[in-house]
Structure 1
Amino acid sequence: MSQLENQIKAIKEIYREIEKSKARIQPVIVGKFALTVYTQGMYPANIISFLYPDIQLLTKILKELGYTQMGDFWTRGDIVVEISKKFEMIPTGTFNQIEVDDFIINVVSLEDLLIDMMNECVAGDETVCELIKMLIKSYEPALDFHYIFQNLKNKQSVVKFKQYRREAIN
């Protein structure tokens, strides 16, 4: 079984336990693992990052499932889970529900992921810039560009994002 298959299996297991607890919401996958989902594994991430408001419940479930806490991370074998506290990642509460192996997982919206990635891109991370270009090209017809431009924090991000969009269309 591949690393990605193991990670998906772990996510399903965590989701099932949260469901059993009668919690009304499931965690949202954010960060680099969200990028793994949107690139269908082309950009592998070794850490599953969850955004979840009930940190105590998620911590309890991870302990019950045999994960060990190591600083900000929870590990079990080769699976590493991070409970993200970056609630600004979802300014409007937008996320996508994506079906993986007949199972629905919540993933931060691609628009919010791109907005977050632009911060790293304008800070000089060329790899992230290339990934943004690839995602725009792949998902261009489905992206809400109005939302993206409304939520980009600085002018440099807006200019660069517009350039990447033009390149993707041509």
Structure 2
Amino acid sequence: MSLLEKQINAIKEIYRELDKAKSNIKPVILGKFALTVYTQGLYPASNISLLFPDLELLRKVLKELGYQHIGNDYWLKDDIALEISKNFELIATGKFNQVEVDTEIMNVISLEDLLADMMNQCLEGDNLVCDLIKVLIASYRDMIDFHYLYTGLKNKKAVIKFKELRRELGEI
């Protein structure tokens, strides 16, 4: 079984345990693992980042599933590394998508919010991330809400860079 399959199974297991605990919400996948989901595994991530407002319940579930707490918000079980995000502002301001993975619905940060986060790295000079942004724009051009994306950006250089990348793709 590949690492990606193990990671997907780990998320499914966490979702099932939260269902058993009668939680009516599910964690949202963030960061590089969200990129892994959107690229369908072409960009592998070594760890899973999850956002969930009930930290106490999530920690309890992780302990019950055999994860070891290794530092502030990191958990480890075999070769599955998991990070609990405390970026709670995303709950109020961000969006998420429900993505079907192996017949299960998983909550993933919206593509727009992921792209905005990635743009910060692109602007810092990470050309690989700039290229990944172009891949995502080309792959999901009809699904991306550019108005939402642009209005949510605090850095106007990011808007300029997005437009530049879209021009390179022949979009605008």
Q: TM-score, normalised by structure 1?
A: 0.96
- Where structure 1 has 5 or more consecutive residues not aligned to the other structure, the ranges are none
Query: Which residue number corresponds to residue 7 of structure 2?
Result: 7
Give the number of equivalent residue pairs: 170
Secondary structure of the structure 1 residue equivalent to 2:58: helix
* Equivalent-residue separation in structure 2 for 1:141 and 1:58 (angstroms): 35
* Equivalent-residue separation in structure 2 for 1:156 and 1:112 (angstroms): 16
Runs of 4+ in 1 over 4 A off after TM superposition: none
In 2 relative to 1, CA 93–161 (structure 1 residues): closer, same or farther, beyond 3 Å? closer
Q: Percentage identity across aligned positions?
A: 64
- Tell me if structure 2 keeps the 8 A contact 1:31–1:113: yes
Give the C-alpha shift of residue 91 in structure 1: 4.9
What does 1:126-145 correspond to in 2, within 5 Å? 126-145=127-146
Give the C-alpha shift of residue 64 in structure 1: 0.3
* Equivalent-residue separation in structure 1 for 2:153 and 2:140 (angstroms): 18
Secondary structure of the structure 2 residue equivalent to 1:50: strand
Query: Which residue number corresponds to residue 46 of structure 2?
Result: 46
- Where structure 2 has 5 or more consecutive residues not aligned to the other structure, the ranges are none
In 2 relative to 1, CA 37–120 (structure 1 residues): closer, same or farther, beyond 3 Å? same
Secondary structure of the structure 2 residue equivalent to 1:149: helix
Query: Which residue number corresponds to residue 57 of structure 2?
Result: 57
CA RMSD of aligned residues (A): 1.1
- Tell me if structure 1 keeps the 8 A contact 2:27–2:51: yes
- Could you give the per-residue CA deviations for residues 46-103 of structure 1, whole angstroms, max 9, x where no partner exists? 1110000001100000000000011121000000111001123455341000111111
In 2 relative to 1, CA 89–127 (structure 1 residues): closer, same or farther, beyond 3 Å? farther
